[in-house]
Amino acid sequence: MERKMENTVRDVEADSEAGGEDALVGNVNKLMVSPPGYSGVQRKGHLVFDACFESGNLGRVDYISDFEFDLFIRPDTCNPRFRVWFNFTVENVRETQRVIFNVVNFSKTKSLYRDGMSPVVKSTSRPQWQRLPAKNVYYYRCPDHRRNYVMSFAFCFDREDDVYQFAYCYPYTYTRLQHYLASLERRNLPYLQREQLGLSVQQRRLDLLTITNSGHVNSEREKKLVFLTARVHPGESPASFICQGVIDFLVSQHPVAQILRDHVIFKVVPMLNPDGVYLGNYRCSLMGFDLNRHWQDPSPWAHPTLHAVKQLIVQMNQDPRVSLEFYIDVHAHSTMLNGFMYGNVFEDEERVQRQAVFPRLLCQNAPDFSFSNTSFNRDVVKAGTGRRFLGGLLDDTSYCYTLEVSFYSYMTAGSTAPVPYSEESYMKLGRNVARTFLDYYKLNNLIKDNIPHQLRSTDVMSQTGKNNPGRGAGIGRNTVDREKEKSVRH
């Protein structure tokens, strides 16, 4: 971006850790940004910015010209290192008003903006989120901001009475989750139980769902248990859509779901970090902790939600009546495409092979899931993650994964360009994750293979979800990936 000389001195920033905004701790609150020195009445076109709402994030706005504004992300509460998530509204616009917004203080340098990602937008008269056209988005190192990476986007307002909302990705708030869980409860499903596992520092609910047909599980046999968590990183909203997709499928009347409920206990913690989500943080809790680095020794007062989940898992692990077989923690990824998994590394080659089974099956069921992007590691920096910690705690018949999904898009065998994820396609990945457990347990002989053929592969999705995108969830779609995976390991 070209800039005038007088603008280049406006951000003499001392603290690069904090992104320059020394005391940037709150969100803008109905902030009218008019030209410097302007003291007249508020006019249409003097934009009003607001982020004082749930999951909102915008810390500061600098007026550059009538057409250009610098926007500063508010860093995570008590942790200025993380600045990625933004979510704010703009109103008092003029019809046909064209603007350029520069988001100038990202804490990351690598970004999917280089690959065509764009912010999402909606307005009061058009409440469906849309991604902005990629051609209106620029991502570049900016000399005016100490060569920080800046994401600029052009936008043309078109309705004066509308309030416009812009966000890093489709928001999924704590309140939305509460409404969803309440609507599930109202259905009085005999195989669904909701309980409050604990409270966050700010006294929000830590919800736990148990989904199983308790009457049907053979009480003499050890019960297989699948544990799923999401939103330990609050800015990773796609994880919530995936999680909801998993739940929607598991509580549905779909025959695969019914069989799974008969044989398996599913435990789901849909929001591990409710305060962080509420506050509009990207990575941390209220007190500035990255909870996914504290599994080794969570404190009941500083990390109460993590502490409660860990206690429950440790307790179940000691219960001889259940066998905790899967732990999956759902995240979103800011630089990779597709869905993929991280797993652990083991000395035992046979265990390595067994661990690769679930992601392989998922790759066959979900066209957007990539086995070739899936990797197994033991980085020191990830020692405090749920996957790594529980991988060490649970016995060798258990599998711990991080399920990642791109904030932006996926490639399929047939696509020549990345297909941007929608809220619906994130949920579809969740439904595909859920049904993959049937394939897994059939393979492992827990569930007998007496399921009608037409239910095994394609069109499972047609019986769940409102906007059925039709075929495409079936086996055989991921030929590119399967070619690749042949060379990985068999």
Decide whether 117 or 461 has the Cβ nearer to Zn ion: 117
Decide whether 212 or 237 has the Cβ nearer to Zn ion: 237
Three-class secondary structure of residue 442 per DSSP: helix
> Which residues 296-335 are close enough to bind Zn ion by CB under 5 A?
331
Name the minimum Å distance from CB 206 to Zn ion.
18
Three-class secondary structure of residue 488 per DSSP: coil
Name the minimum Å distance from CB 410 to Zn ion.
18
Part of the chain binding Zn ion (CB under 5 A), chosen from 46-54, 197-205, 234-242, 315-323? 234-242
Rounded Cα–Cα distance for residues 406 and 417 (Å)? 15
CA terminus-to-terminus distance, the chain: 50
Q: Residue 388 interacts with Zn ion (CB under 5 A)?
A: no
How many residues can be counted in the chain? 490
C-alpha dihedral, 375 to 377 to 381 to 382, nearest 10°:
70
Decide whether 94 or 382 has the Cβ nearer to Zn ion: 382
Residue 379's CB is within 10 A of a number of other CB atoms, namely 10
Rounded Cα–Cα distance for residues 223 and 256 (Å)? 18
Q: Residue 387 interacts with Zn ion (CB under 5 A)?
A: no
H helix or E strand, kind and range, residue 269: strand 264-269
Name the minimum Å distance from CB 329 to Zn ion.
8
Decide whether 236 or 275 has the Cβ nearer to Zn ion: 236
In 84-222, the DSSP E strands lie at 87-91, 98-103, 120-123, 126-131, 137-142, 148-156, 164-167, 192-199, 205-211
Name the minimum Å distance from CB 53 to Zn ion.
23
Part of the chain binding Zn ion (CB under 5 A), chosen from 227-235, 321-329, 369-377, 413-421? 227-235
Tell me the site size for Zn ion, rule CB under 5 A: 3
Name the minimum Å distance from CB 330 to Zn ion.
9
**Displacement of CA 134 from its chain's centroid (Å):** 21
Q: Residue 233 interacts with Zn ion (CB under 5 A)?
A: yes
Decide whether 233 or 294 has the Cβ nearer to Zn ion: 233
CA atoms 120, 125, 128, 132: torsion sign? negative
Q: Which residues are catalytic?
A: 404
Q: Residue 261 interacts with Zn ion (CB under 5 A)?
A: no
Rounded Cα–Cα distance for residues 336 and 406 (Å)? 6
Decide whether 331 or 435 has the Cβ nearer to Zn ion: 331
Name the minimum Å distance from CB 421 to Zn ion.
16
Part of the chain binding Zn ion (CB under 5 A), chosen from 147-155, 196-204, 232-240, 264-272? 232-240
Three-class secondary structure of residue 483 per DSSP: helix
Binding mask 235-254 for Zn ion (x = CB under 5 A): -x------------------
**Binding residues vs Zn ion (CB under 5 A):** 233, 236, 331
